[in-house]
Structure 1
């Protein structure tokens, strides 16, 4: 065992399960395990060379708890590979990792495990092609996106929002930005989005839309000054604070603007769901079929073609998702923040407060990092910073 203090290797990915005292850290050719009780660090999969691919770098990009094992994926010399490790941290299986890990660590990617299934977004080609969100591994059917649904996306975050009283309606929310199809001079070059899919989605029938999401919907996520039509259009980071009642789950979103400012806007899952459940479908002018497109159903393969066709051709909502404060962002700064985290603490007055932590710089790089803390109450009113 040793300390991270004198370890100067570059770190790329962190994994911490909320119910665990262990944190895993991935870098180039290695994975470390940090015991948060005594802050000791051990090497995972010793010797070090188990994650080494000859002279080529293997940058670890994915660490997840998957099917009671540690699941690790890396670039593997531009040939993405995944490894399954048992509790002793010995590799028991390896898998082809395309679509889970990017080919180069600087390429966009994300992953999440949901009820024993692995969901991921990573390019299928070294040229960054076919970047989309998929269910990639597990006991259930692999499902992916229709190519026309997104345009040059950058995936920011993904979150599973559980409905304890109604698990069949669990949703997975994907936050991303994409190129704007409107190329007029006054249009923003980027549009920030929230999309959702049903956890129970198995894709379409063998005849139509097989292995494609039948529940995918997307909406524009806006943060700014609606009265002036002035928006922070580039989504940078997301932090989801889950609540006992899923309606009250909060989404804290960090945006940047074309005038070099950053803003934080706060959304509730209740508000996001209201848009998905009540808005008309952009570009669709006919009667909305039953069941409503995007509805979670026990067997998606039996959905009527009319419902699936709307998802296929018109998955975007006409209405936009506005923040809880609507008229203005919750917080604005001239600092170039890149990361956001929210913690909940009890103060000496015995009241609970939320601490908004905003960071500049690249957290796993050697450049300077500046962190700003903003304290606010349950009513989301800012108190101090």
Structure 2
């Protein structure tokens, strides 16, 4: 049975990941070394926080908080936060690793491990000075973990700080609590969660009805089903009312009285195959909370990743209407989980259901019911989503997925159909991404590594080339053809996001351009080569979605791909091999000659005078033929 399920799952993965060119990045982009902010020393762990003004980025590292001026892309301050108090630590834990940065009560609130004694500080800007100083400190138990590797999260909402972190060094008593602020401290009932891993927390505001504002938390917990076929983890979403002050002194004092949880489903229900391990969450908030979307990143035990998209409106529908799992009595009034004016006055019958049956019987399904929005064999670790206004004024969502090898995939959400616009490679080697933050106003991604922050320009339109057709084929909502270049979107510029149809560039002119390309392409190389030696031609592969062929002497052959190059290998040059060679790219309705060569014969007596560069070319050809022929 397990083998059969695994086979079915692999079949579906192959269908999603190899059935279309759209399943691979169209373009490979290599990030310039100039867009980087380097630390003075490597960091084991970093946390990024973007100020509400979007002009400053705070970076929490080891024993310090860095402040980055985004308009200048420079570090403007290194605020030292050395260990406070006496040290009672082991050699590997005697630093203060910053784990929390939030804007809280008109200050920058920072917490760290503090050599196994978690501590927090409020930082304020000094008047007339760019530097900051600590004006207040708090114990950090329950807000910061003892080790940076321990699970934790934090959330600041209207003067209140929510957090999940273990209360003890061993990692025990990990739960979600309201820790500081104007409202009562509230925490969880111990039996609600089983060995949780918290992923994200978010406040969903209802401007027209603030009394019903909710706090959502996303996590995975240990599966009570221990059968061999069951995944050891189940992914969840839970909610609590922001107005929840806990129960009365007699029952559930300082414990959430509105806590409910439900299972998040991401998979192929018809095959009973699911991605059960939640890794990251991005909530795209809308002015109308009902239109807010949740993008969730999952993995499976089959070494694959998936993205599912949910509606906050559907969350509320399940929480407000589903039966309570394991509860068979009459649902009391007020219904468990409803937001009420005074939670301390809730009847025992309502709180008893919350206490013993907080899980919803119904599962929460994504907006796309039959299968995940996106399935990949890549091991993704983080997800961020931006909303972009296209040239026609319509809104489009773009996903940014970070891989475990340090790359960023840029994916268009085309009405629940993914199109992988590009893969950005920030290093020539694999490097772990520690943290990532989106600045939607400046259209930048800030990606934290051990030794630096890489700044990714989301409007890197020049990477698509200098022709209208190439710009349109990119299907990048950030970019459009301005008339002279591929540039950040302006109203009325040329785009075709849904199809990438280049005829929009003016069909008759496009046809003429194609013909001129084929006829008048600049000769890339002219080679005089004797017979009976190996030789090869090469041209760069620009688009992974295009097909490349070599056309010569009225023949056409597919290229042999080697890395990012399209090769034509000649094992031994014969008379019929001499002539003109064109490397031709075809993508959708666009045809382009990339490079053109001419291969000519030489006299035997002139063979000794073949230029050195051509001799090297011959040696490389022999090596390639040997390698690719294996």
Bin for the TM-score computed over the shorter chain:
over 0.9
- The 5-angstrom pairing of residues 1-385 of structure 1 reads 4-5=37-38, 7-10=40-43, 11-45=45-79, 48=80, 50=82, 56-88=94-126, 89-361=132-404, 368-377=405-414, 379-385=415-421
Q: Per the alignment, in what secondary structure is the counterpart of residue 370 of structure 2? A: coil
Distance of aligned partners of 1:44 and 1:298 in 2 relative to their CA distance in 1, 3 Å threshold? farther
Check conservation: 1:376, 1:384, Cα contact below 8 A.
no
Measure how far apart 1:349 and its partner are.
4.3
Check conservation: 2:368, 2:416, Cα contact below 8 A.
no
Partners of 2:114 and 2:165 lie apart in 1 by 14
Partners of 1:267 and 1:147 lie apart in 2 by 28
Distance of aligned partners of 1:349 and 1:101 in 2 relative to their CA distance in 1, 3 Å threshold? same
Partners of 2:298 and 2:52 lie apart in 1 by 26
Q: Which runs of 5+ in 1 are unaligned?
A: 362-367
Measure how far apart 1:352 and its partner are.
2.5
Measure how far apart 1:191 and its partner are.
0.2
Distance of aligned partners of 1:9 and 1:266 in 2 relative to their CA distance in 1, 3 Å threshold? same
Higher helix share: 2
Measure how far apart 1:374 and its partner are.
0.9
Measure how far apart 1:281 and its partner are.
0.3
Q: Which runs of 5+ in 2 are unaligned?
A: 1-35, 127-131, 422-630
Cross-structure match for 1:365: none
Check conservation: 1:30, 1:51, Cα contact below 8 A.
no
- Aligned residue pairs total 374
Q: Per the alignment, in what secondary structure is the counterpart of residue 86 of structure 1? A: strand
Distance of aligned partners of 1:346 and 1:190 in 2 relative to their CA distance in 1, 3 Å threshold? same
Deviations 1:113-146 (A, max 9, x none): 1110000000001111000000000111100000
Measure how far apart 1:350 and its partner are.
4.0
Measure how far apart 1:336 and its partner are.
0.3
Measure how far apart 1:162 and its partner are.
0.3
Deviations 1:163-191 (A, max 9, x none): 00000000000000000011122222100
Check conservation: 1:59, 1:105, Cα contact below 8 A.
yes
Q: Which has the larger radius of gyration?
A: 2
Partners of 1:113 and 1:5 lie apart in 2 by 29
Measure how far apart 1:110 and its partner are.
0.1
Partners of 1:302 and 1:271 lie apart in 2 by 29
Q: Per the alignment, in what secondary structure is the counterpart of residue 275 of structure 1? A: helix
Partners of 1:6 and 1:219 lie apart in 2 by 42
Partners of 2:342 and 2:190 lie apart in 1 by 23
| TM-score, L = length of structure 2 | 0.58
Q: Per the alignment, in what secondary structure is the counterpart of residue 147 of structure 1? A: coil
Check conservation: 1:227, 1:327, Cα contact below 8 A.
yes
Measure how far apart 1:50 and its partner are.
4.4
Partners of 1:110 and 1:9 lie apart in 2 by 23
Q: Per the alignment, in what secondary structure is the counterpart of residue 236 of structure 2? A: strand
Deviations 1:147-166 (A, max 9, x none): 00000000000010000000
Check conservation: 2:409, 2:420, Cα contact below 8 A.
no
Which shows bigger deviation, 294-303 or 3-12? 3-12
Check conservation: 1:203, 1:213, Cα contact below 8 A.
yes
Partners of 1:31 and 1:201 lie apart in 2 by 33
Check conservation: 1:241, 1:249, Cα contact below 8 A.
yes
| TM-score, L = length of structure 1 | 0.94
Partners of 1:58 and 1:14 lie apart in 2 by 16
Measure how far apart 1:51 and its partner are.
5.3
Check conservation: 2:65, 2:81, Cα contact below 8 A.
no
Measure how far apart 1:101 and its partner are.
0.1
Deviations 1:315-347 (A, max 9, x none): 000000001001100000000001001111233
Partners of 1:49 and 1:70 lie apart in 2 by 13
Cross-structure match for 1:364: none
